[in-house]
Amino acid sequence: MTSKSTSKAKTPIGQLLFRYRDTDTVAGVSRKTTARVAQTLGLTETQAIHLALARLAQETLPRYEADNGELTAKQLRAIKKLEPQGRMVTSENLFA
């Protein structure tokens, strides 16, 4: 009887080749800087890179789906119809 190999060759799905810059710039860092950041935070270099990308994603990516643009005239009329009518009263005291 011949035995079949049960292990499959691993493919590089989800992997990325990361190339460091020779010197630090606004858009890139050197390996030395990555190592210093990782050591300061008590992380591996890979964890430091993931942390940096996660923070960048939180700062730059929208956290909601894009809307459909400007409201139509019909939608604006419907909102105004539901809006409370009358004079708005302001108060100097929060509990008045």
The string of DSSP letters for 20-68 reads --SS-BTTB--HHHHHHHHHHHT--HHHHHHHHHHHHHHHHS-SS----
Given pLDDT bands bounded at 50, 70 and 90, which one contains residue 51? very high
Which pLDDT does position 10 carry in this prediction? 64
What predicted TM-score, i.e. pTM, was given to this entire model?
0.56
- What is the spatial distance between Cα 90 and Cα 76, in angstroms, rounded to a whole number? 25
Model pLDDT for residues 82-95, shown as the tens digit of each residue:
887 777 777 777 66
- What is the spatial distance between Cα 50 and Cα 18, in angstroms, rounded to a whole number? 12
Which pLDDT does position 27 carry in this prediction? 94
